Chains A and B, each alone.
Chain A
């Protein structure tokens, strides 16, 4: 199946620093990528929808100035957590939608996730 990578897989940083997470579709083009966040023992919650070449669409309650999303190419979206605080510690997962339909259904592929710990 299609592969989506995320980098870094794990990051530990001090409060107040900014962290950039990359999401790449390795063998397909993705006009749309999604960013999710998962707190311990909770479900994945959609943060934003990232569209190549346009502004991201953020879910209610997600601060767009704090979580900066850039989708500059068909294979790369980045999420930057600005001025991170301990409450931002979470598991961040991206998914990429295969623009060409894959098997004919709306197929989305998940990255392996980035575990962020803010001290």
Chain B
């Protein structure tokens, strides 16, 4: 059974700092990994999608890396802003055990960027 762990559970930084969020998964047989952002009580916004054959993806100030063999991904946020404050969720889409469709989520990292 796939398990996804995100560290840290919460992070508070001053505005302007660069930061790294970590995600690890137990089963490396994945199709892809997605990073999502969730504001309190709101929906999930997809930030970046990394295919299993890729090493990283970039979108603006966000960069996500994937080391499939070691079961790890990182989300790097450059020059953080107060508007980046949200919960960041990592999810993997597996290709083992017939469960080819579902995403398995981590518990998220609650990020607070202080002005």
Mutual binders A and B: no
